[in-house]
Amino acid sequence: MKQRNLFLEILYAVLPAVSIACLLVLWMGVSGNRPDLIPTPAETWSRFADTFDKPIMRLSFFGHILASLRRVMTALLISWSAGILFGILIGWSRTGKSVFGSIFNMLRPIPPLAWIPLITIWFGIGETPKILIVVIGSIVPVIVNTQSGMERVEQLYLDVGTVFHANSRQLLFEIAVPSALPTILAGIKTSISTGWMVVLAAEMLGAKSGVGFLITRGMDSGDTALVLVAMIAIGIVGALLAVFISFVERMICPWLRKK
């Protein structure tokens, strides 16, 4: 019995490595036999190294990542500030909810990507439309979470405030908003990953810089290795963003640590 357990422990420890190895073998096997389907890992790596010698559209590889990150950050700052304000408005005031919440709920089912054609008719293809599309995509989780956080403030907390003669401004800013903070942060977290996804789509539809541009560039010039490099970079940046934000979350709300 004990031996069996030991065997299982070893198996469990080795399996992740086995699965990654399987993936690599599969990749090498397919790319070796059918190079038209996917470039080999070696090709992908050398393509990655090449991007530093030969900049694409006068930007290095990291330059493109930075260009995308800058768009996302600009858009996120807008959607956080606007989204939290709007969320407080429709989550705190019944009148606000009735008047503006209904409009918001009517527009919400329209996916952010479906706005792209209309936005490009309005603003052409510069920086503004891309940022605006990312704002449209990333503001929704912020608004939804802020609203639900504000609506679910413990009545008890508010009653305590009332007992101590807090005025309505104090009730809002000293009780309701702080107690909704964890929910708002969860919305901010979602908005970051949504933003990162939407910026990609916006860039794929016409841009001269950014990771989405790299993908379209690779697709148009038949440079699959570049596509793969860009995909991997997008994945890594996305994962890093997720790690970074959970770190920040733990700094701001230490009480949220995983049970």
Partner 1 sequence: MDKKTKKNKFADGSTKYALLSVLGIAGFFVIWQLLVVSGIINSKYLAAPTDIIKLFFVKIAETAPDGNTLQVNVFSSLRVSLLGLFTALILGIPLGWLMGWYRWVDRFVTPLFEIIRPIPPISWIPLTILWLGIGLKAQAFIIFFSAFIPCVINSYTGIKQTSPVLINVAKTFGATNFTIFIKVGIPSSLPITFAGIRVALGNSWSTLVAAEMLASSAGLGYMILMGRAFARPDIIVLGMLVIGVIGAIMTALLEFAEKKIVKWGGRTR
Neighbouring residues of 117: CB distance < 8 A, sequence distance ≥ 6: none
3-class SS of residue 60: coil
Binding-site size, partner 1 (CB under 8 A): 60
141 binds partner 1, rule: CB under 8 A: no
42 binds partner 1, rule: CB under 8 A: no
> Nearest CA to 91 among 104, 77, 73, 75?
104
Candidate segments 46-54, 76-84, 201-209, 248-256, binder of partner 1 by CB under 8 A: 201-209
Indicate the residue among 188 and 215 with the shorter CB distance to partner 1: 215
**Nearest distance in Å: CB 154, partner 1:** 8
248 binds partner 1, rule: CB under 8 A: no
Q: Are 219 and 230 a contacting pair, CB within 8 Å?
A: no
d(Cα 255, Cα 236) in Å, to the nearest integer?
28
Q: Are 145 and 184 a contacting pair, CB within 8 Å?
A: yes
100 binds partner 1, rule: CB under 8 A: yes
How remote is the C-alpha of 208 from its chain's centroid? 21
Could you list the residues that contact partner 1 (CB under 8 A)? 11-12, 15-16, 18-20, 23, 36-38, 94-95, 97-103, 106-107, 109-118, 120-122, 154-156, 196-197, 200-201, 204-205, 212, 215, 218-219, 224, 227-228, 230-232, 234-236, 238-239, 242
